[in-house]
Every structure is written in C-alpha cells, then in structure tokens.
Structure 1
C-alpha cells in the first residue's frame, strides 16, 4: 500500500530472549563476550551490552565488570517471556492506539476509547500467555531444531532435549 508508513516495532524483546537462550546454551564456555553474542544476534556489541544491562537490572542475569561471563540469575524454567518483556519494554503495551485521530469524525472521535478497552483486554491475555512460556521451553525448542538440522552440534544441545 503506497503512502502508508511502516509501523515502528522493537526487536529488543526478541534479541533479549536470544541472548538469554545463548547464555544458557553456552554457559561455562569462553563464548560469552558481548562481541561473540553480537555475532549470533547479528547486531553490534553495544546493543548487546545495553540489553544485558536491562536484563541485569531486572535480576534475570548476573555479570561481572570486565569479565565475559554472564549467567542466568535463576533457572531457565523460572524465567518467563513476561519477565523478559518487562525487563526490556517496562510496562509498555504491546499494541498501541493511534493518538492522532480526527475528533470531528464519528469514527475518529470514538475509535481511541473503543480500541483502548479492546487492547487492554488483549494485553491482559497476552501477558497471561507470556507468563506461561518459560526460557527452558525456548532453549529446548532451539535444541530440538539444532539436533535435526545440524547433528554435529548434538553434544552442545543434548542436555536440553
């Protein structure tokens, strides 16, 4: 559709999950520097450090200054996607209402109020579902796919199967 601007969205949440899964899978290795993790995420190391800072503030990881050895602050089965989302996005809703509608139009004057109530309901349901999905299931699913697609890495992922 010509003329429509693309909606902005954050990939920080996805990157944070990626980082946590990476930290779990590669724990106790020398592959945990922000530079190496950035290679997996395909972003720059500064972005990794920024996300990891948020994860640390939310007590999802622990780190030591000057040492490339982040670790999960709790077991992966105790870290939910909601925990990760809130560490990155705070209390920001997943879906947003356009605040610039025409108050002189029947639809424009009322759409914000109507959508706000619907979006609030969706937000509650999404948060309930996000709370159910734990990091260990993400790591397990990654391990299943990796063991099928690249069996040479089975030694790394087999403990999560």
Structure 2
C-alpha cells in the first residue's frame, strides 16, 4: 500500500519556510525547487496550509510565512491540513455479502485500522516542526 505524498510535501514546504525565513523569499517556485515538483502542487499545498491557519501567503512574489512558531506546529496538524484521513486505509466498498469474510471485513478490519490510525495520529501529535528542524540541523552537522 502506498500513502499519499501530500503530507511529506507539506512538511518539506513548512520546513523550508521556517529555515529560509528572512534569507530567501519562499515563493511557490522556490519551494518547488526544494521539493522538486511543479509549483502548481506547491500552490495547492500552500492553500491547504493557509486554510488550516499554518501559513500566510503574500500575493505575487511575496512568499509564504509561518503563522505559528515551529514548536507549535505538529505533524498531526499538518496531516489534518492536507490529507483526507478517511481514505487513509481504503477497504473494498462492496465486498461479497454472501461470503463470511466479505460481509464482515469492514467490521473486523475496519476496527483494527481505526486503532492503527489513532496511534499514528497520537505519534504525529508528539512531533513538531521544531523537532524536524533540529533533525535537519543535526544531519547537516554530521555531514
């Protein structure tokens, strides 16, 4: 199974905004060069992050800025801003109701996947953008 790449892109965008604040204008073109995707994807991501109250975006070439401190932005918030967590795990919508496995798969597997998702979100709530900025700093120091 492969998860969406929206959250990792959003995290990278926020890390770039935090790291390069005051150094470079963090425009969609600049951010796209870090993520190595089309600026259109970055603009959509910035729109989602703005709607979630995590960034403000100046029109034109003004760039983006964090609305909160990195220590106050969690991976859970970022995930909620860009992912539809209802589709995190997708179980076949119409399994065979005549099969004992098919008719029970939503209840049996759905409950387990819900627990897994909740544990993941709890873990995400304990990791901040500041934690990741420190990890980037440490990775650069050990280079």
- Decide: shared fold, TM above 0.5: yes
Q: How does 1:55-94 map to 2 (within 5 A)?
A: 55-94=49-88
CA RMSD of aligned residues (A): 1.5
**Are residue 148 (structure 1) and residue 136 (structure 2) matched?**
no
- How many residues are aligned here? 143
Aligned residue number for residue 38 of structure 1: 32
Distance 1:47 1:41 in 2: 10
Q: Per-residue displacement from partner, 1:1-47 (whole Å, max 9, x unpaired)?
A: xxxxxx55310110000000011111102241211211110100011
Unpaired stretches in structure 1, ≥5 consecutive residues: 1-6, 150-161
Distance 1:92 1:76 in 2: 27
Aligned residue number for residue 15 of structure 1: 9
Query: Is 65-74 or 46-55 further displaced after alignment?
Result: 65-74
Q: How does 1:96-115 map to 2 (within 5 A)?
A: 96-115=90-109
Aligned residue number for residue 44 of structure 2: 50
Which protein shows a greater Rg? 1
TM-score of the aligned structures, taking structure 2 as reference length? 0.92
TM-score of the aligned structures, taking structure 1 as reference length? 0.82
Q: Per-residue displacement from partner, 1:52-111 (whole Å, max 9, x unpaired)?
A: 010011110111111333111100010000100010014535322222322211211111
Q: 2:123 aligns with which of 122, 129, 154?
A: 129
**Are residue 25 (structure 1) and residue 28 (structure 2) matched?**
no
Distance 2:92 2:127 in 1: 29
